[in-house]
A and B are shown apart, each in its own frame.
Chain A
């Protein structure tokens, strides 16, 4: 693969356009832009969900500071407000573009791909310029620098990202497929570019790069599972209509299908619900066209499991055990869940308190999301609030409840264990010390191996020369 040696430089006509707007090619960064461009930039920033990482909840927008947990440690998002001392105030458009699409900072250091520059590489030049205009003009500068990221050796050597980029960064912006409709192309652009769906929904390889051959086949975000959203009828969203997909992205739920929780709830809350209807349709059209990636274990779609199950009649008049760990699944469901999800799991009349039947959350074999939502609840602006039950339920109760829910409303092959509950209750993914150790060992071992090989090669050469010359 050729080295992406070329520096990011705007095409000449764009530079001309910008300089004509500002009157002259000034030496320092020039921000001026018209209101339409800024508005478009704002929309793109929402579509790209910059705020998800770059805004600490409750703090000033884009000021950074949010630690993003990865298996190799926490990566702290930077301040991308136009502050000259703490943010990107001194970035030129070219530098902004390089950061966004190549993962290269103004000072030449590389960014970790927790910043999804591999996706933003697809952004068009016009869109990058609009984003730049928005950030430089509309975002309030915040002169406070967040803590620097400190990863363990060897991951703290940012230059190693150069090698990673060599392998995994496809530096080309999105090229439309002429054989597809404009709508499809818009969808493809959004999914692969700004909305960077694959960052969560595509499985990653050992070196934590998205596996292109398995685009959107499902991935993990900490303990949350981002499901397969390829066009497969059983494993993916093949059975969803366009309207259902649009409803899910816009409202955070689709009746008799699913609702967004955890990180997806945030994606809907911060980004997707603000996209235009045509853009959401385009995304849906694209998703439904993706190559179907099928897991043979999926014998039916995740939303087709479960039937109304009425256990509560059998516990009426039965006293509750004193020890809460001895409560049956039906008793736990009755005391804590039936209130909103109703006695047969059918949800409220208006569907706003969701049905547990025909609900992908309970139909998948990966049960992490169910446990996570029971423990943490589900908050989604503007008005969705399922409370957290971490305080109300013990680990054993969550496991009993999880098993009860899945057995009655979901996929009977799925399991919930007490250990799983303990792990998820403990919170963010712990640093994967194995991975770190392996990498550290490799850092030491690989050069030693290379040196050893060199020595062997040298001694062989000498040997051959001696053979050749001697005797």
Chain B
């Protein structure tokens, strides 16, 4: 019997979080039609704090996921803002830039580099926070997520993050396409 196994479901809204129409309006009020076209369900995203809305929308665009865990977002946002107090404003600015100029995420870094934009490090910072769980650099670098970092989530159907056991001895001999041995 061939076992097919699917990717884990995308993180969902917390059951008790109802989308605040005000917050929804904030995003739509940006006139963020381009951004919304990239991530169609972002308008339904619960936002813990209105100031985080641009960060959430920007994150959704950069990591390519319409729905992001709000608790994780808060942790990352707080860490990014603590690392650089100018971050929230810069995030909004970048979001506006992307929206106004309809910049495709894959072209974004090149565009910012070409223009030597003061925002050119921002996409990397946001994506590093979400995908690697790391904020800051050099001596100031801090881990804020490991198992919940997106790079672990994205492969969680096949791999465990390093240091986590894969399974009983020998469980790694199977072809991963066949799915795990459920005993």
A and B touch in the complex (CB under 8 A): yes
Q: Beyond the given A342-B164, A348-B166, A348-B171, please list 20 additional residue pairs across the A-B interface where CB-CB is below 8 A.
A: A255-B182, A310-B147, A312-B148, A314-B75, A316-B143, A317-B142, A339-B163, A342-B160, A348-B165, A349-B166, A349-B181, A350-B181, A350-B183, A351-B183, A352-B167, A352-B183, A353-B165, A353-B168, A383-B168, A383-B169
Shortest A282–chain B CB gap in Å is 24
CB of B34 within 8 Å of the partner chain: no
Bound together, the chains give a CA A312 to CA B71 distance in angstroms of: 13
CB of B144 within 8 Å of the partner chain: yes
Bound together, the chains give a CA A255 to CA B71 distance in angstroms of: 31
Cβ 8 A contact of B171, one of A255, A312, A338, A352: A352
Whether the pair A255, B146 counts as a contact (CB closer than 8 A) is: no
CB of B105 within 8 Å of the partner chain: no
Name the A residues within 8 Å of B182 (CB-CB).
255, 349-351
Q: How many residues of B contact A (CB 8 A)?
A: 25
Cβ 8 A contact of B168, one of A316, A343, A350: A350
Shortest B86–chain A CB gap in Å is 21
List residues of A (44-90) whose CB comes within 8 Å of B's CBs.
none
Whether the pair A317, B164 counts as a contact (CB closer than 8 A) is: no
CB of B66 within 8 Å of the partner chain: no
Name the A residues within 8 Å of B75 (CB-CB).
313-314
Interface residues of chain B: helix, strand, loop or mixed (majority): loop
Bound together, the chains give a CA A383 to CA B142 distance in angstroms of: 39
Bound together, the chains give a CA A350 to CA B174 distance in angstroms of: 11
Instruction: Count chain B CB atoms within 10 A of each CB in A313, A338, A348 and give the residue with the most.
Output: A313
Name the B residues within 8 Å of A352 (CB-CB).
167-168, 171, 183
CB of A340 within 8 Å of the partner chain: yes
Whether the pair A312, B147 counts as a contact (CB closer than 8 A) is: yes
CB of B180 within 8 Å of the partner chain: yes
Interface 0/1 of B71-102, CB less than 8 Å to A: 11001000100000000000000000000000
Name the A residues within 8 Å of B165 (CB-CB).
339-340, 342, 348, 353
Name the A residues within 8 Å of B169 (CB-CB).
383
Name the B residues within 8 Å of A338 (CB-CB).
164
Chain A's closest residue to B152 (CB) is A343
Shortest B48–chain A CB gap in Å is 15
List residues of A (332-389) whose CB comes within 8 Å of B's CBs.
338-340, 342-343, 348-353, 383
List residues of B (43-72) whose CB comes within 8 Å of A's CBs.
71-72
CB of B145 within 8 Å of the partner chain: yes
B binding-site residues for A, Cβ under 8 Å: 71-72, 75, 79, 133, 142-148, 160, 163-169, 171, 180-183
Shortest A219–chain B CB gap in Å is 30
Cβ contacts A to B, 22 pairs, < 8 Å:
A310-B148, A312-B148, A313-B145, A313-B147, A313-B148, A316-B146, A317-B79, A317-B144, A339-B165, A342-B160, A342-B165, A343-B164, A348-B167, A348-B168, A349-B171, A349-B180, A350-B168, A350-B180, A350-B182, A352-B167, A383-B168, A383-B169
A binding-site residues for B, Cβ under 8 Å: 255, 310, 312-314, 316-317, 338-340, 342-343, 348-353, 383
Bound together, the chains give a CA A353 to CA B144 distance in angstroms of: 27
Interface residues of chain A: helix, strand, loop or mixed (majority): loop
Cβ 8 A contact of A343, one of B71, B72, B147, B181: B147
Whether the pair A349, B167 counts as a contact (CB closer than 8 A) is: yes
Chain A's closest residue to B169 (CB) is A383
Bound together, the chains give a CA A351 to CA B168 distance in angstroms of: 8
If the complex has contacts A349-B180, A351-B183, are A313 and B72 also in contact, measured as CB distance less than 8 A?
yes
Name the A residues within 8 Å of B143 (CB-CB).
316-317
If the complex has contacts A255-B183, A348-B171, are A316 and B144 also in contact, measured as CB distance less than 8 A?
yes
Whether the pair B171, A350 counts as a contact (CB closer than 8 A) is: yes
Bound together, the chains give a CA A338 to CA B72 distance in angstroms of: 20
Name the A residues within 8 Å of B181 (CB-CB).
349-350
Bound together, the chains give a CA A340 to CA B166 distance in angstroms of: 8
Bound together, the chains give a CA A461 to CA B183 distance in angstroms of: 79
Bound together, the chains give a CA A399 to CA B111 distance in angstroms of: 56
Name the A residues within 8 Å of B168 (CB-CB).
348, 350, 352-353, 383
Name the B residues within 8 Å of A316 (CB-CB).
133, 143-146
Name the A residues within 8 Å of B171 (CB-CB).
348-350, 352
Name the A residues within 8 Å of B160 (CB-CB).
342, 348
Shortest A349–chain B CB gap in Å is 3
Bound together, the chains give a CA A314 to CA B142 distance in angstroms of: 13
Name the A residues within 8 Å of B133 (CB-CB).
316
Bound together, the chains give a CA A342 to CA B168 distance in angstroms of: 13
Shortest A355–chain B CB gap in Å is 12
Instruction: Count chain B CB atoms within 10 A of each CB in A310, A314, A317, A353 and give the residue with the most.
Output: A317
Name the B residues within 8 Å of A340 (CB-CB).
165
Bound together, the chains give a CA A338 to CA B147 distance in angstroms of: 11
Chain B's closest residue to A351 (CB) is B183
Name the A residues within 8 Å of B71 (CB-CB).
313
Name the B residues within 8 Å of A348 (CB-CB).
160, 165-168, 171
Bound together, the chains give a CA A54 to CA B94 distance in angstroms of: 76
Whether the pair B167, A350 counts as a contact (CB closer than 8 A) is: yes
Whether the pair B167, A353 counts as a contact (CB closer than 8 A) is: yes
Shortest A333–chain B CB gap in Å is 12
Instruction: Count chain B CB atoms within 10 A of each CB in A312, A350, A353 and give the residue with the most.
Output: A350
Shortest B61–chain A CB gap in Å is 23
Chain A's closest residue to B135 (CB) is A317
Chain A's closest residue to B79 (CB) is A317
